[in-house]
Amino acid sequence: MSLPWAHPLFRAVSGGEWHPGGTAATERLWRACRAALTDGAGHGTDDARDAARPLRVLDAGCGEGAAALRLAAEGQRVVALDRTSQPDWRHSSFPAAGASRPLFCAADIRRIPLRDGWADVVLCQCVASLLSRPENFFAEAARVLRPGGVLGFSDLVRRDEAQGRPAVCDTASPLSLSGGCAAGAHRREAWERLLRTAGFRLLSFTDESRELARLTAQLVWYGDGESLRQIGLDGAAGCRSVCRKGSRPGYGVWVAVNTRQTI
Partner 1 sequence: MSMGPNYTPDGGPWRCGRCGCALEQGKVQAEYLQSAFDVFLPRCPQCGLTMIPRSLAEGKMLEVERLLEDK
Among 101, 214, 235, 247, binds partner 1 (CB under 8 A): 214
User: Cβ closer to partner 1: 53 or 244?
Assistant: 244
Q: Tell me how crowded residue 115 is: count the other CB atoms within 10 A of its CB.
A: 10
Among 31, 83, 245, 261, binds partner 1 (CB under 8 A): 245
- Report, in Å, the least distance between residue 118 CB and partner 1: 39
| 160 in contact with partner 1 (CB under 8 A) | no
Q: Are 39 and 61 in contact (CB under 8 A)?
A: no
**What is the identity of the amino acid at 75?**
G
Q: Which range touches partner 1 (CB under 8 A), out of 61-69, 169-177, 190-198, 210-218?
A: 210-218
User: Cβ closer to partner 1: 196 or 214?
Assistant: 214
Q: Are 203 and 255 in contact (CB under 8 A)?
A: yes
User: Cβ closer to partner 1: 53 or 245?
Assistant: 245
Q: What backbone phi and psi angles, to 5 degrees, belong to 29? A: -65, -40
- Report, in Å, the least distance between residue 243 CB and partner 1: 5
Among 92, 125, 209, 230, binds partner 1 (CB under 8 A): 209
Please give the order of strands across the beta sheet that includes 119-125: 103-106, 77-82, 56-60, 119-125, 145-157, 250-258, 200-207
Q: What backbone phi and psi angles, to 5 degrees, belong to 92? A: -65, 150
Q: Tell me how crowded residue 212 is: count the other CB atoms within 10 A of its CB.
A: 23
Among 216, 227, 230, 258, binds partner 1 (CB under 8 A): 216
Tally DSSP H helices, then E strands, for the chain.
Answer: 10, 7
| 218 in contact with partner 1 (CB under 8 A) | yes
| 236 in contact with partner 1 (CB under 8 A) | no
- Report, in Å, the least distance between residue 166 CB and partner 1: 26
**DSSP-based three-state secondary structure for 27:** helix
Beta bridge partners of 209: none
User: Cβ closer to partner 1: 45 or 230?
Assistant: 230
Beta bridge partners of 180: 168
**DSSP-based three-state secondary structure for 215:** helix
Residues 23-62 that bind partner 1 (CB under 8 A): none
Residues 3-22 that bind partner 1 (CB under 8 A): 12-13
- Contacts to partner 1 by CB under 8 A: 12-13, 209-210, 213-214, 216-218, 220-222, 224, 239, 243, 245
